Structure 1
Amino acid sequence: MLTGLHHVGYVVPDLDAAIAFYRDTLGLVLDRRGDAGPGFNFEVAVFRLGDGSTGIELIKPITETGPFADFLRANPNGALHHIAYTTDGHLTEAVAPALACGLQLGPATANGPIDTAAGWRILNIDPSNTHGLLTQLGEQ
């Protein structure tokens, strides 16, 4: 089902400061930065590690409403928001055995997968099923 760690997502209060930390302090190279796409209401910056298969995703809400804005209000210094894994094969087929065991889909994907502006198709697993951490499963 899971084939690797794709990225960890951090919601941050200051995207420029977070980028500077990862770039200037840790020496990572910024892969991309930009608006996440229509309807997503956040700006994103991504750093890739090692062979490029694993990333650090920095998320800054660009509106006062929505799940990332709510998360930042609850965590004003920023915090780990989610972890994302790649799956083998078709996403809905890969997650079917877990759903059959009672796993619940979570925020934004309760009705099925969504496609991101980065070309990734994702399902969110409800944090109540994953010991409190929002978990994404995805395919590219």
Structure 2
Amino acid sequence: MTKPFHQVAYVVRDLDAAVRHWADVLGVGPWSVWTVGAEVTRDQVYGGQPASFRFRHALAWSGEMQFELVEPLDGPSIFADQLERSGPGLNHVGRLTDDHAAESAALVAKGCVPLQSATFGESQDGRFAYFATPENEGILELISPPTVRFAPDYVYPIAGATQ
């Protein structure tokens, strides 16, 4: 794995409120918000089995760090698991990869356990996968962005809007 970590993700109970807080109070944004489910993903897997899950997430940059906020909606997910076990908070760190299959295999060879994955994007050539690290020290996401993304549900704040 040659690319640096670039993303930190938090699980939240109310995505819209969290986006407003991070933008209005912490100065991070603008946030692009998407709903992710079977309508925009394929090959959903959770715990090694085919699954059906939905979540909303928002992405924003602060310098070179991307922040992600995730609210689970339906079905099994690492996000719903966290809310049930320990509540909102830090969930995972993410890094981009050019060879998702090879880097995923390398993580498994090092003792990481696949937790959840899917393909995504309008082009369906994007892939995300979450892994528990050995000794359960945290969750790592490998991300291959799609060549064509779906348009976000909304962006907050809207450029040029006064609050």
Aligned pair count?
Answer: 129
Alignment of 1:121 onto 2:158: no
Tell me the equivalent position of 1:132.
137
- In structure 1, what is the Cα distance between the partners aligned to 2:69 and 2:107? 28
TM-score (norm 2): 0.66
Structure-1 residue corresponding to 2:67:
56
Secondary structure of the equivalent of 1:106?
A: strand
Q: Which runs of 5+ in 1 are unaligned?
A: none
Q: Pairwise mapping of residues 12-91 of structure 1 onto structure 2 (< 5 A)?
A: 12-38=12-38, 39-51=52-64, 54-63=65-74, 65-67=75-77, 68-76=79-87, 78-87=88-97, 89-91=98-100
- Pair 1:105-2:118 in alignment: no
Shift of 1:126: 2.2
Change in Cα spacing, 1:21 to 1:74, as seen in structure 2 (3 Å) is same
CA RMSD of aligned residues (A): 2.4
Deviation at 1:130, TM superposition (A): 5.9
Structure 2 alignment gaps of length 5 or more: 39-51, 146-163
Structure 1 residues 1-59: Cα deviation after superposition (integer angstroms, max 9, x where no partner): 131223111110121221121100111222311201324311111111225xx311111
Residue identity in the other structure for 1:136 = E
Contact 1:9–1:57 (8 Å) recurs in 2: yes
Conservation of the 8 A alpha-carbon contact between 2:108 and 2:114: no
Asked if the contact 1:44–1:59 (Cα under 8 Å) also holds between the matched residues in 2, the reply is yes
TM-score in terms of structure 1 length:
0.75
Instruction: Assess if the C-alpha contact under 8 Å between 1:120 and 1:139 holds in 2.
Output: yes
AA of the residue aligned to 1:121: R
Separation in 1 of the partners of 2:59 and 2:29?
9
AA matched with 2:100? L
Distance 1:32 1:44 in 2: 8
Identity %: 26
Counting strand residues as a fraction of each chain, which structure ranks higher? 2
CA change 1:47–1:130 in 2 (3 A) is farther
Answer whether contact 2:53 2:73 (CA < 8 A) is retained: no
